[in-house]
Amino acid sequence: MTALSHHLLATIWSALELPAPATDAVSFTGHGNLPSYYAVTDLAAAAIGAAALAVRELAALRGASEAPVSVDRRLASLWFGWSLAPVGWERPALWDAVAGDYACLDGWIRLHTNAPHHRRAALDVLGCAPDRQAVEQAVAQWQGAALEAAMVANRGCAAQMRSAGDWHAHPQGLAVASEPLIAFDTRPCGGAVAWAGTRTGSRTGAEARPLAGVKVLDLTRVLAGPVATRFLAGYGAEVLRIDAPDWNEPGVIPEVTPGKRCARLDLHHAPDRAVFEQLLAEADVLVHGYRPEALARLGYDENYRRQANPRLVDVCLDAYGWSGPWTGRRGFDSLVQMSCGIAAHGMQASGAGKPVPLPVQALDHATGYLMAAAVVRGLITRVTQQRATQARLSLARTAALLMTTEGEIGGVQLAPVAPDDYALALEHTAWGPARRLRAPVAVAGMAMAWPQGASELGSAPAQWAAP
């Protein structure tokens, strides 16, 4: 059952370009699989295991013992869904009423309309009211490729359903296939490489909170980037998330903000720019998911970031890859599943009459843990080689890894979530009490935990915590 988890872990670890650990460094427990035509549970276990193993390697550099890592495949699968169960309150709706799959003249297309400006872009192209039946009727008049192109040209988000064969022959599919799972680049730091925090083997110091003192500036949105920084916060990093004054993603914020401080800055406003630039200069890590030209238009391109903070670990995410004609195209997990053939394969294999996506947003979650592992790898490189790291990842490249696997629809299925899957203590969030799933991975002496519950966007000042 765990052979594929080990294989995927080895593939991810090779992509991290770190020395190979002992063959028994990570063990996998737990039974059952998410029902999918791809091995989503194995990907979940491997991605989480790789991130935790990287944390263990960094902790060893700071004086901790090389403790064993154990991943619960069942809990890892559940964390690829939703880890938070509200107590006495309801989570806001995840999807906008217009978002979803629609039949067009020659197949299927998915519209992603959760953000208000993406919804307006879609409705402007279709020329219809924000009513699902009206959208269905309007989409039915279009060829899939033409509607996708029109949506993208209008700064909207849509993806025509393609088969895996079509994607492999597509210029963007060819470009993604040539990219590494994680693309690294390093350069001399040109200065101090350590960070604040206790360097000790005691269980009250580095071994207990191995990322203590690491300042992470978080410029990410749904969902991969926030998953990455949630993991980093879980092992002690100070995560400061920055959002624009008008941005919100209510359906997922309670899920992804435990242990973080969330602030707002308007980077078109000079005083806020000055605050941001100071934060960037003092950060150890920058994690961002904006399209490349978005930061460049603000004056914060790669060259600026290197000059402002020569020691920065800079980890960035893109939907469709970093080369090819779709470089910088807006995208989300559900759209990439449509583009690359995952939804079409599920539809064909099941005999369904509509797209069959993965049972969870596995591309987002897996890529999030790969991003977290890349951050830790960058910290290791900074300590051992006195070099700063940039890492690039994409949802489409993670999809390519998943598509090398086969799932077991008829095998042992994952048991439903049970009360004892949750931690005993309530998490006090900004919306009310909630229960969070128990951690999916255990590293002896290094608990994944968050000192405070999930918080709302803009609820904290844009500053690092006092030492």
The pLDDT of residue 201 is above 60: no
Contact call for residues 96 and 87 (beta carbons, < 8 A) = no
* Amino acid letter, residue 81: G
Quick one: DSSP state of residue 92?
P
Angstrom distance (rounded) from CA 60 to CA 79: 26
- Could you report the per-residue pLDDT of 456-466, keeping only the tens digit for each? 999 999 999 97
Instruction: Please tell me the predicted confidence (pLDDT) of residue 316.
Output: 97
54: helix, coil or strand? helix
Q: What is the mean pLDDT of the chain?
A: 93
Residues paired with residue 159 on neighbouring β-strands, in sequence order: 110
Helices (H), 62-143: 73-79, 116-126, 132-139
* Share above pLDDT 70 across residues of the chain, in percent, rounded to a whole number: 96
224: tokens are 């991969």
Give the whole-angstrom CA distance, residue 166 versus residue 150: 20
Q: Which residue do the tokens 């064993």 mark?
A: 68
Q: How many CB atoms lie within 10 A of CB 15?
A: 22
Q: Is 80 exceeded by the pLDDT of residue 193? A: no
Q: What would the pLDDT profile of 20-36 be if each residue is shown by its tens digit? A: 888 789 999 998 999 99
Length of the chain: 467
Residue 301 CB contacts under 8 Å (≥ 6 apart), including other chains: 292, 295
Q: If pLDDT is split at 50, 70 and 90, which confidence band does 203 have?
A: very low
The band of 207, judged by pLDDT with boundaries at 50, 70 and 90, is low
Tokens of 458: 């803009």
Tell me whether residue 418 is exposed, middle or buried, using C-beta atoms within 10 angstroms of its C-beta: 0 to 12, 13 to 18, 19 or more: exposed
Give the N- to C-terminal CA distance of the chain in Å, as an integer: 46
Per-residue confidence at 412, pLDDT binned at 50, 70, 90?
A: confident
- In terms of Cα–Cα distance, which of 328, 283, 277 is closest to 304? 277
Report how far Cα 45 is from the mean position of its chain's Cα atoms.
Answer: 15
State mean pLDDT over 118-129: 97
Q: What is the DSSP letter of 155?
A: T
Kindly report, residue by residue over 431-442, the tens digit of the pLDDT.
999 999 999 999
Does the bond joining 78 to the residue before it have cis omega, within 30 degrees of 0?
A: no
Query: At residue 317, does pLDDT exceed 50?
Result: yes
Higher pLDDT residue, 427 or 192? Answer: 427
pLDDT band at 467 (very low <50, low <70, confident <90, very high): confident
